[in-house]
Amino acid sequence: MTDDPLLIHRPHFAILEQTNYLISNSLGAVPREAALALAEFYEIWASRGVRAWEEGWWELVETTGDLVAPLIAAGPGQVVFQPCVTIAHAVVLSVFEPSAGRSRLVIDEGHFPSILYLVGEQARRGFEVVVIPGRSDGSFDLDRFLAAIDGRTAAALACHVQFRSSEIVDVAAIARQARACGAYSIIDGYQAVGSIPVDVGRLGIDVYIGGCLKWLCGGPGNAFVWVAPERLMELRPALTGWMAHRRPFAFERTLDRRDGAGRLLHGTPNIAALYAARPALERIAGIGLDAIRAKSLRQTGHLLALADARGWPTPTPRDPDRRGGTVALGVPNGLPVSRALKARDILCDYRPGVGIRLSPHFYNRDDELDAAIGAIDEILSTQSWRDHIARDSPVT
Ligand SMILES: Cc1ncc(COP(=O)(O)O)c(C=O)c1O
């Protein structure tokens, strides 16, 4: 579509010159300005040395959080960075102690495995971990999930957008039920922020966690956490450290915890990663999530129509209100087909159970979607996927 106004951003992403980049659900493309930001990081390190901490580095986890805040309709000072989404969950989970009567953690089995592993390990701390199966078609079973949240529940954990199917989960309903039962809702928005508009206040959730690696095009080492302001002062994470202290450079023996979102911090952050994330955050805020969402719905709708024409099954919802930014395609021999696509510089991934995931973002052209589907047609008809069956890499 030549009159797509978002394509004005395309020249800022170098990788789009050589590849058909349809994998922003995994690693968003990096904008060229990130190179300048990383060079700036080096210059400051080289010229200011240790003084950089008092000249902005120490607060960078919070000032960069202020660039994320508008993307989730949070206020300034309410978002802080974390090294990864799993650690952000670990910090929040370390708040809870199993107590008689309230020792349940409720999570759905379609949650990202890293979080399932972390929550599963909480059983060693005395929690009862309740894992809710999905429906037979793999979709999120909201009724069953809500029914599992009761007065025995400490926290309910769910993804805003499911990583396999890209189904949008009704996290507002989960938040309501959790609050009604005196439990916390902890929502993983990693597959949501940057792809769909998010309003944490309107959703009524307690804790929202996300990251910049994927749809926010900010690279690794850049997760973040937001806590509802009315909940924040209740939180005293056991996974803590000197950055959570009011006077970290007084080196006192005991923790005097900060009041704001800084109370969720712990040790020295990865400053280079934070520099890398900033240009894309500014660009995406400038574009606006409504425009990104409108384009995403058009492109994912087009992919679904192409899949339907070929009879490929998909777990991705047809209903635009329930569909995130990815379309998963149950293409036959999906794993070797996805590798054959990669060999043709068409980047996507494959997940067992759902198939090939294609994730157009604001910088993709419509013809790239047709090209990807056309390439799948050809790989299937020529059976060239057979050349890609054996592979030793753990990353598919
Ligand atoms: C929904 C979701 N949650 C969590 C993770 C894991 O995040 P991290 O590696 O930052 O801990 C992923 C990774 O893809 C994810 O998609």
Judge whether residue 390 has pLDDT over 80: no
- pLDDT for 393: 65
**Is residue 394 scored above 70 in pLDDT?**
no
Compute the distance from residue 321 Cα to the ligand 1 centre, in Å.
Answer: 23
Its pTM stands at 0.97
CA distance 181 to 264: 24
Beta carbons within 8 Å of 117's beta carbon, 6+ residues apart: none
From 24, 112, 116, give the residue whose CB has the most ligand 1 atoms within 8 Å, as the site to mutate: 112
Q: Is the pLDDT of residue 1 over 60?
A: no
Q: Which residue has the tokens 């009604």?
A: 180
pLDDT in tens, 297-341: 999 999 999 999 999 999 999 999 999 999 999 999 999 999 999
Closest CA to 271 of 118, 74, 48: 48
Inter-residue contact 178 to 185 (CB < 8 Å): yes
CA atoms of 86 and 186, how far apart (whole Å):
12
DSSP letter string, 191-203: TTBTTB---HHHH
Q: What is the pLDDT of residues 341-353, one digit of tens each?
A: 999 999 999 999 9
Tell me the average pLDDT across 71-90. 98
pLDDT digits (tens, 9 = 90+) for 116-137: 999 999 999 999 999 999 999 9
Structural domains of the chain ordered from first start? 5-25+288-388 (3.90.1150.10), 33-285 (3.40.640.10)
Judge whether residue 2 has pLDDT over 90. no
Q: What angle do CA 148, 169, 289 make, to 5 degrees?
A: 150
pLDDT tens, residue by residue, 223-281: 999 999 999 999 999 999 999 999 999 999 999 999 999 999 999 999 999 999 999 99
Q: In what order do the strands lie in the sheet with 79-82?
A: 79-82, 223-227, 207-211, 184-188, 153-159, 104-108, 128-132
Window from 210-214, 300-304, 392-396 with minimum mean pLDDT: 392-396
pLDDT at 100: 83
Q: Separation of 349 CA from ligand 1 center, angstroms?
A: 15
CA neighbours closer than 13 Å in the CB half-sphere of residue 357: 25
Mean pLDDT lowest among 174-178, 367-371, 391-395: 391-395
Residue 97 has pLDDT above 60, yes or no: yes
Q: Please state the rounded mean pLDDT for residues 53-66.
A: 98
Give me the chain's average pLDDT, please. Answer: 97
Report pLDDT digits (tens) over 151-175. Answer: 999 999 999 999 999 999 999 999 9
Could you tell me which residues come within 8 angstroms of residue 137 by beta carbon, excluding any fewer than 6 positions away?
Answer: 315
Stretch 378-395: mean pLDDT: 86
Around ligand 1, the residues with Cβ closer than 6 Å are 84-86, 112, 114-115, 159, 163, 188, 190-191, 211, 223
Query: Any idea what DSSP says for residue 77?
Result: T
User: How far is it, in rounded angstroms, from Cα 109 to Cα 132?
Assistant: 6
CB atoms within 10 A of CB 16: 17
Q: Say how many Å lie between the CA of residue 188 and the centre of ligand 1.
A: 8
Specify the DSSP class assigned to residue 29: P
The angle at the Cα of 217, spanning 212 to 221, to the nearest 5 degrees, equals 40
Strands 355-358 and 327-329: antiparallel
Q: What does the pLDDT read at residue 339?
A: 96
> Is the model's pLDDT at 391 over the cut of 80?
no
pLDDT at 91 over 60: yes
